[in-house]
Structure 1
Amino acid sequence: MTAATRVLTAHVSLALADKVDEMASRLDRSRGWVMKQALAAWVDQEEERHKMTLEALAEVDAGAVIDHRAIQAWADSLATDKPLPPPIA
């Protein structure tokens, strides 16, 4: 059984289109296949970024944060002979 599909259209620069064509040729795949792979990877990345943002906001709401001054002191110590251990929430 084949999944239902829908055509999406995007205007891209000639340089990007040429790169896609070159990649498709090198991989012996169609331009559409390359575009589907790229779009799927981008969507996965953005979904993961959104999930991580929501998790980080939940940690802030729960009070699991590190004071800015502690982070600054740690970062400043990295250029010294005796760096501090990383602060822990």
Structure 2
Amino acid sequence: MRSHAKQTISAQIPVELALAIEKLAQELDRSKSWIIKEALTFMLAERERRHNDILSGLADVDAGRVVSHSEIVDFAARLKKE
């Protein structure tokens, strides 16, 4: 995702969000573009991480690596006793 080529995009956002971006840019002494790029990069990476976690969980289910409902109930009961 590291490319030196750039593309300008346009988006309409609520005024409150635009003001928050501007305030953060001033606080961090960064451009609004930098703030938006960082936020989008983080959001996309987090989305990818969650997607991979879901795929991993589904692979566990397919492989039979699961915990039964009764095991969870027993575990919860033990926690209450402690």
TM-score grouping bracket, smaller chain normalisation: 0.7 to 0.9
- Relative to total residues, which structure has the larger helix share, 1 or 2? 2
Q: TM-score, normalised by structure 2?
A: 0.87
Q: Specify whether residues 30 and 71 from structure 1 end up closer, same or farther in structure 2 by C-alpha distance, changes over 3 A only.
A: same
> Tell me, which stretches of 5 or more residues in structure 2 are unaligned?
none
Q: Distance in 2 between matches of 1:20 and 1:65?
A: 43
Q: Specify whether residues 69 and 35 from structure 1 end up closer, same or farther in structure 2 by C-alpha distance, changes over 3 A only.
A: same
Q: TM-score, normalised by structure 1?
A: 0.81
Q: Distance in 2 between matches of 1:77 and 1:13?
A: 49
Question: Cα RMSD between the aligned structures?
Answer: 1.4
Equivalent residue letter for 1:8: I
* Shift, 1:16, TM fit: 1.3
Per the alignment, residue 28 of structure 2 pairs with 27
Identity, % of aligned positions: 35
Higher relative contact order (CA 8 A, sep 6+): 1
Give deviations 1:19-75, integer Å, cap 9, x for gaps.
Answer: 110000011111000000010011111111111110110010000001011112212
Q: Distance in 2 between matches of 1:8 and 1:50?
A: 26
Q: Distance in 1 between matches of 2:70 and 2:12?
A: 47
Equivalent residue letter for 2:24: M
Q: Distance in 1 between matches of 2:32 and 2:78?
A: 51
> Tell me, which stretches of 5 or more residues in structure 1 are unaligned?
82-89
